[in-house]
Amino acid sequence: MINHKQYLQPYPESITNPQLTNPQSITKQYFYSTKNNKFQKPKENPMAFAAVLSSGSRARTSSSNLQTPTPRRRPTTKTLALPPLPLAADLSLDSPAAIAVLGSAALAAAVSLTDPERRRQQQAQEIGGTDKEVVREYFNTTGFDRWKKIYGDATEGVNKVQLDIRLGHSKTVENAIQMLKDGGPLSGVSVCDAGCGTGSLAIPLAREGAIVSANDISAAMVAEARRQADEAISGVEGLTFPKFEVMDLEGLEGKYHTVVCLDVLIHYPQEKAEGMIAHLASLAEERLVLSFAPKTLYYSFLKRLGELFPGPSKATRAYLHAESDVERALEKVGWRVRRRGFTSTQFYFAKLVEAVPVA
């Protein structure tokens, strides 16, 4: 935890002798900087961005230099000074500075100084692998428990953010299925669910009669998807049980009428996402449905804001993609976007596109 007092300490307003170093003698609003060992007016410390917090406690009073001291109330606000901006990226959610209401200039400066790439590299080094290995490790351990809650139906132990993401993801799945059904009945249609998670798309597609091949990089996710499919459709007459496999997207082979890849490109930087889109298109004969987090100024800002508070569940491995980049990648391999959709909740946002081969 950062000790903010080592940078700037507020005291009640000024003093009869500005050179005194006894805080109890202060009666005027100066700031005592332990870094410079002297009192400063607020305007002389440009690195201190003040945040205002509500407070109802009394101010400290001093009678050492006053003949008739009278108690007085502390103002209804108190000043909290943030540390120099290069340290802002190290703030945690439970730090006083993170709780403070930041001015827009301070917030923008702090966001601009975060270093998510450094954290990604540190995470990869910890497990001795690349971004892909980080994703694999995450979704086999802490990520599996977290996303199992999000993709599931239970409400106990699920926080509001997870419930919100669940709503957004389920809406994207619903929209994708509707896109596919608009093209005709799914019975007997071969579908590849690339990055199936816990089966939130594969299982309803199988209920529609589709022949589903589903895969995921996480063995834990695939095991859970298979378990849920057992409960939902095992033994149902006329339905084909999905084929679940542990496999990353690069290892996918074969040909399918339709390939669907939902909420997976967020794990791929743009230079790799373009190659992945081309690979998925090579597996599809008629349709390719993709979802991705759109790269806009607003969503980029939200992502950078999330990176202020590092942690395994935060936005450190999330990649946004401009819709124009996705379209360009499709056009390079002879595909075009036919339909679009968009889902947005408070904590979830995804663009959905259906692409078909250029006639």
* Chain segment 121-165, per-residue pLDDT in tens: 555 445 445 566 777 676 666 666 676 777 777 778 888 888 898
pLDDT score recorded for residue 130: 59
Structure tokens that stand for 108 in this block: 């923008």
pLDDT score recorded for residue 34: 42
pLDDT score recorded for residue 2: 46
Across the range 163-177, mean pLDDT stands at: 94
Percent of the chain topping pLDDT 70? 54
Task: Please tell me the distance from the alpha carbon of residue 217 to that of residue 147, in angstroms, as a whole number.
Answer: 14
> CB neighbours of 288 closer than 8 A, spacing ≥ 6?
258, 259, 260, 261, 280, 281, 330, 335, 354, 355, 356
314-339 tens-digit pLDDT: 434 678 899 999 999 999 999 999 99
Across the range 266-281, mean pLDDT stands at: 92
pTM: 0.61
Query: Which residue segments constitute the domains of the chain, with CATH numbers given?
Result: 4-112 (no CATH), 133-357 (3.40.50.150)
Structure tokens that stand for 289 in this block: 């449905």
